[in-house]
Amino acid sequence: MPLDPAAEFMITFLTDAGLTFTPGASPQERREAMRSVMAGVAAEPLPVGAVRDDTVPGPAGPIAVRAYEPTVAAPDAVLLWFHGGGWVTGDLDTHDQLCRQLCNDTGVTVVSVDYRLAPEAKFPAAADDCLAAYEWALGRFGAVIVGGDSAGGNLAAVVALDARDRGLRAPAAQVLVYPVTDYEFESPAMVDNARGYFLEAEGMRWFYECYAGDASDAADPRFSPLRAADHTGLPTAVVVTAEYDPLRDQGAAYADALRAADVPVEYLCAEGIIHGYFGMHALMPTAQAPWDAVVAAVRAAAGAGA
């Protein structure tokens, strides 16, 4: 379908704010731009039952986390959220409002993980931190759901694979929001949406290069989970993408790989909108169904696994 007018406005706004990829910008400049944009667009923080900043043990030192507790009695479950930002940008504050929305709508405790960022901490630092946070959560909650947006969706998929391969208790579900699942530039989505839709192919190349330690990392399943030799035994997944997103086909391909391995999957592609829409369903009507699917999946997993 045609590009949604709200998505067009969002592209203009994000371009003017300096978030669209421009050669030469440093990681720090991109981080500051993302923080500035999120601070500017966020309304008053949505009230939740409680918010607590803490740390959990990590392979390179303590990892900062932020826990959001619902106002009503929560099940013995947690949604462990890994923020997006290409493994380079994003933090607890940039995703604060989204985590509050998720906490309120799911009725489940949400814990946001401030994993190490590239290029200062190359692959597999972010994946290692997220796995450490997952192991911490296993000792405290009956059901642990892993989720994330964009690079965070990549990390959620990787944690699910790691849990299986290391013999850990499996996540109750995995929530993959326009996830990065492969190092590729040939898919129709990557070609057709290469420029002009906020996240661009050139920007993805920069993110990949910031995260990878060397060229061989791209083939590692902990970098490109679509390349795992085996996707059997993974937890139920909900995968959501966007029509005008270079990552659309990666997300669809991962959903297909899970289905082929007999993993229950719900896949939705939001028509007419772009990467970054999650949590903006009040502005973009086609973003509502993916949001509802995620909320329903988290509620179901929290109830079944607690």
Residue pLDDT, tens place only, 275-288: 999 999 999 999 99
Q: Where are the domains of the chain?
A: 5-305
Ranking 1-5, 39-43, 170-174, 263-267 by mean pLDDT, the lowest is: 39-43
Out of 83, 91, 96, 150, the active site residue is: 150
Nearest one of 10, 6, 1 to 196, comparing CA atoms: 10
- Given a cut of 70, whether residue 42 has pLDDT beyond it is no
Residue pLDDT, tens place only, 45-94: 999 999 999 999 999 999 999 999 999 988 999 999 999 999 999 999 99
Q: List CB contacts of 282: < 8 A, sequence separation 6 or more.
A: none
pLDDT > 70 in the chain, percent: 98
Nearest one of 182, 177, 178, 179 to 224, comparing CA atoms: 182
Question: Tell me, what amino acid is at 212?
Answer: A
Q: Is the pTM of this model over 0.85?
A: yes
Average pLDDT, the chain: 95
Out of 4, 96, 245, 249, the active site residue is: 245
Residue pLDDT, tens place only, 15-41: 887 777 777 889 999 999 999 888 766
Out of 95, 231, 275, 281, the active site residue is: 275
- State the CATH class of domain 5-305: alpha beta
- Separation of alpha carbons 219 and 231, rounded Å: 15
Cβ atoms of residues 7 and 273 within 8 Å: yes
Q: Is 245 a catalytic residue?
A: yes
Q: Is 231 a catalytic residue?
A: no
Q: Is 220 a catalytic residue?
A: no
- Given a cut of 60, whether residue 258 has pLDDT beyond it is yes
Q: How confident is the model at residue 3 (pLDDT cuts 50, 70, 90)?
A: very high
